[in-house]
Amino acid sequence: MSGPGADEGLSVQVTGLVKTYSPGAQVLRAVDGVDLDVAAGEFVALTGPSGSGKSTLLHLIGALDRPDAGTITVGSINVTALQRRRLPDYRRRVGFVFQRYHLLPALTALDNVLAPALPRRPGREQQALARELLGQVGLGGREDALPSRLSGGQQQRVAIARALFQRPGLLLADEPTGNLDQHTGQQVLSLLTQLRSERGTTILLVTHDQSVAEQADRAVQLVDGKVQERLAHDQNVAEQADRAVQLVDGRVQERLAHDSPSTSPDTDNFERVNDADGAAGWSGGAGPEAPAPGPLASRWRSS
Ligand code: ADP
Ligand code: MG
């Protein structure tokens, strides 16, 4: 698994995924019918309010937990149909990075990176790989440091090196920058995007931070266990029509679809038009939870 040849990005297909919890009498649908497609090598940011099911979805995709319904396919593996004894093998193809690093406090940085090889004694080749990975995340020379001697950013970089040890085709990162200051968080993020471009690793990353989400190819928002329909009231909807017809001051202003985002009117303009003349503007407009308008979305797609 850790030899050359592994490491190629794995696609992710999630269909009709449901995960319920029954903490008391009532049933909580933590993941409530999620469909999600991630292409091999794509970097997707998963956003959404606290409790919206982001971690649960990540755990299901990583087979740390089992869904109640739906299917998950990663590469050619039907994860939801895997027999229990096959799960450890699958999990080794997936790298996990957590907000709180989850390093083993009694192990050195090097041994933490080698931890996925345990309980077997790591061979010389694996030792060399672990050292190389620590060097790649900027921690050459800190191999023998215990986590308590490392800063948060350094600990997270050890965790990333550990996640990469098995040369995973898919990296699942749950708020990996959530405990870091902005500068350190940006360093960790740059590391992930660099790894993605060098190894083609698919990345699914949960974040609360809009500036982090903007660096992904695309952002998917979860609300109450469901993928938020980002297209509603969005310029993206107009872009997918054959043409868009805009009303301004009660008169039709015809615009071509697929206008460049910079020339597209943004949500604020619609609201201002609406304020000035209740009859004008596009119907609806953006609600308070509305996604960012065109320019941002196109930046996600083009980055
Ligand atoms: P997020 O990561 O978006 O904050 P989570 O996936 O952690 O959301 O949680 C989604 C919902 O499921 C929350 O309401 C949470 O309280 C609930 N939940 C998560 N894990 C469990 C569990 N093991 N038992 C009961 N409820 C859970
Ligand atoms: Mg979470």
Whether 245 and 223 map to the same domain: the answer is no
Question: 137 with 255, same domain?
Answer: no
Instruction: Confirm or reject: Cβ of 54 under 6 Å from ligand 1.
Output: yes
Helix 182-199 and helix 152-164, axial crossing angle in degrees, nearest 10: 20
Res 231 pLDDT > 70? no
Tell me the three state secondary structure of residue 63. coil
Domain boundary among 229, 254, 271: 229
Atom of ligand 1 nearest to the CA of 31: 10
Identify whether residues 135 and 68 lie together within a single domain: yes
- Indicate if 82 and 188 belong to the same structural domain: yes
Does 215 map to a domain? Answer: yes
**Beta carbon of 56 within 6 Å of any ligand 1 atom:** yes
Please give the mean pLDDT across all residues of the chain: 80
**Inter-residue contact 185 to 177 (CB < 8 Å):** yes
pTM to 2 decimal places = 0.75
Do 148 and 196 reside in the same domain of the chain? yes
pLDDT in tens, 23-58: 888 999 999 999 999 999 999 999 999 999 999 999
State residue 195's pLDDT score.
83
- pLDDT reading at 187 higher than 90: no
Q: Does 197 share its domain with 92?
A: yes
Domain end position, chosen among 202, 229, 256 = 229
Q: Does 181 map to a domain?
A: yes
**222 and 246, same domain (yes or no):** no
Number of domains in the chain: 2
198 and 258, same domain (yes or no): no
Give the pLDDT score at 155: 96
- Better-predicted residue by pLDDT, 280 or 127: 127
Residue 114 lies in a domain: yes
> What is the rounded distance in angstroms from the CA atom of residue 99 to the CA atom of residue 92?
20
Q: Which of 20, 22, 46, 55 to mutate to test the pocket of ligand 1 (most atoms within 8 A of CB)?
A: 55
Residues 171 and 285 in one domain: no
Q: From CA 165, how far away is CA 115, in angstroms rounded?
A: 9
Residues 44, 49, 55: CA angle, nearest 5 degrees:
60
Band the pLDDT of 270: cuts 50, 70, 90: very low
Mean pLDDT of the region 58-69: 96
Question: Does residue 251 lie within any of the structural domains?
Answer: yes
Q: Does 3 fall in a domain?
A: no
The predicted structure's pLDDT at residue 301: 34
pLDDT at 25 (0 to 100): 85
CATH of the domain at 21: 3.40.50.300
Q: What are phi and psi of 57, to 5 degrees?
A: -60, -45
Among 229, 261, 281, residue at a domain's last position: 229
* Domain of residue 278, residue span: 241-300
Question: Is the residue at 1 inside a domain?
Answer: no
CA nearest ligand 1 atom 16, residue: 51
Q: Is 100 in the pocket of ligand 1 (CB under 6 A)?
A: no
User: What number does the ligand 1 atom closest to the CA of 49 have?
Assistant: 3
202 and 256 together in one domain = no
Residues 64-68 have a mean pLDDT of 95
Q: What is the pLDDT of residues 123-180, one digit of tens each?
A: 999 999 999 999 988 999 999 999 999 999 999 999 999 999 988 999 999 999 988 8
> Per the domain annotation, does 235 fall within a domain?
no
d(CA 22, CA 184): 38
> With b meaning 16 or more CB within 10 Å and e meaning fewer, what string describes 10-19?
bbbbbeebbb
Give the atom of ligand 1 at the shortest distance from the alpha carbon of 58: 6
Q: Are residues 223 and 246 in the same domain?
A: no
Q: Looking at the domain assignment, is residue 85 inside a domain?
A: yes
143, 290: one domain: no
The whole-number pLDDT of residue 251 equals 60
